[in-house]
A = this chain, B = another copy of it.
Amino acid sequence: MANEKKVQQNTILDIAEALKLSPATISRALNNHPHVKEKTKSDVLKMAAQLGYRRNNMASGLRSNKTYTVGLIVPRISMFFHAEVITTIQNGLHKYGYNLIICQSNDSVTMEKELTEILFSSRVDALIAACTLFTTDFSHFDKLLENGTPVYFYDRVPLHDLGATIIKGDDFRGGYMATSHLIETGCRKIAHISGPLTSNLYQNRSSGFIKAMEQHQIPVNEDWIFHQELTQNNAREAMRKLFEGDIVPDGIFTDNDSSAIAALEYAKEIGLNVPVDLKIVGYSNDPRTSIINPSITTVEQFPADFGKKIVEVLIDSLKNPNHEITKTAPIIIPIQLIRRMST
């Protein structure tokens, strides 16, 4: 019992021996090759089951250069949006016989690079990535692309063309709709708590914000626009600044829901009545926004649609690996404003 090393597993050679067949035939039978006699195939499957045979994916992958494995890198799996996307992707790929290796970068560029290396070393058939907020250099993905491994970026995506497929939300429209909604419900003094402009997300949501303001001829107060990491603490700090002056906002658009929640809590603490004194719109439709009181108006991103679309394009190119590398324009997933009690 002690000192027991890995036990030798049964291989196709064992099946071959038991059945007086060649390993090649076993391999073919196991892989549903066309030119195998039905009887042989069923014999092989039976014997495989009996011996408890399990294919060795390393040997198979090494030889065939296909791993039926897709890598995925996300900043954090705990974010509701990503958790949903991941689930959809995993279930989708599973149907086509592909496995998914899920990795977290913890929003660290270094970690993202390391994970990319590792996934390449594992020779994944494709890579899906939602980059960190701080990824501006995407060269660590080059190795995969050079090798002909398709790369799919979603959510946080490169700002310039890399030869990879891009799936993103309609952030411009999201920012525009959120802001327009605030204006339509009566706000005239609107602040925007946004993320770092290194990310496409916040660039576009900010543009949407500006567009809506300009269209309604409402002056934009530069001091009321924050570009910072979207943590609860930063949101509170922004709120403090916003409400220490004489003129205070009557509407706030935050680029994520955590910030919206923090803003709402801060507003309640200083005695504001939301939505009467202040209206708030968040982004992402995190489950918490519907539970908090008052519930928060937010922008639904339809993570399941992201997942479905990613699987669709990924499987398409994996099944037809040698069709022209279509320089696809970015795929845009529509958003939708969810109106709640905070506006």
Contact = CB atoms under 8 A, between A and B. Distances in A.
Interface stretch (A31-39, A60-68, A328-336): A60-68
A114 B95 CA distance: 12
A2 B90 contact: no
Contacts of A121: 54-57
A9 interface: yes
Contacts of A123: 56-58
A42 to B, nearest CB: 20
Given A83-B77, A143-B54, A322 B62 contact: no
Contacts of A106: 87, 91
A101 interface: yes
B148 A7 contact: yes
B54 A120 contact: yes
Contacts of A1: 324-325
Contacts of A69: 122
A143 B6 CA distance: 12
Contacts of A103: 90, 99-100, 102
A120 to B, nearest CB: 5
Interface stretch (A169-177, A191-199, A285-293, A306-314): A285-293
Interface in A79-113: 80, 83-84, 86-87, 90-91, 94, 99-104, 106, 111
B91 A87 contact: no
Interface of A: 1-7, 9, 52, 54-59, 61-62, 65, 67, 69, 76-78, 80, 83-84, 86-87, 90-91, 94, 99-104, 106, 111, 114, 117-118, 120-123, 143, 146-149, 261, 287-288, 291-293, 321-325
The 6 closest A-B pairs by CB, nearest first: A78-B83, A102-B102, A58-B62, A58-B58, A3-B322, A57-B121
Which of A101, A122, A288 is packed against the most chain B CB atoms within 10 Å?
A: A122
B83 A87 contact: no
B117 A147 contact: no
A147 B143 CA distance: 35
Contacts of A55: 121
A112 to B, nearest CB: 12
Contact of A2 (B2, B56, B322): B322
Given A6-B149, A55-B121, A293-B293, 5 more contacts: A57-B118, A58-B58, A58-B122, A78-B84, A292-B293
Given A55-B121, A122-B58, A9 B76 contact: no
A287 B76 CA distance: 16
Contacts of A91: 106
A261 B78 contact: no
Nearest to A72: B102
A52 B54 CA distance: 34
Contacts of A287: 288
Contacts of A77: 77, 83, 86-87, 102
A4 B99 CA distance: 24
Nearest to A114: B94
A67 B78 contact: no
Contact of A291 (B4, B99, B292, B323): B292
Nearest to A122: B57
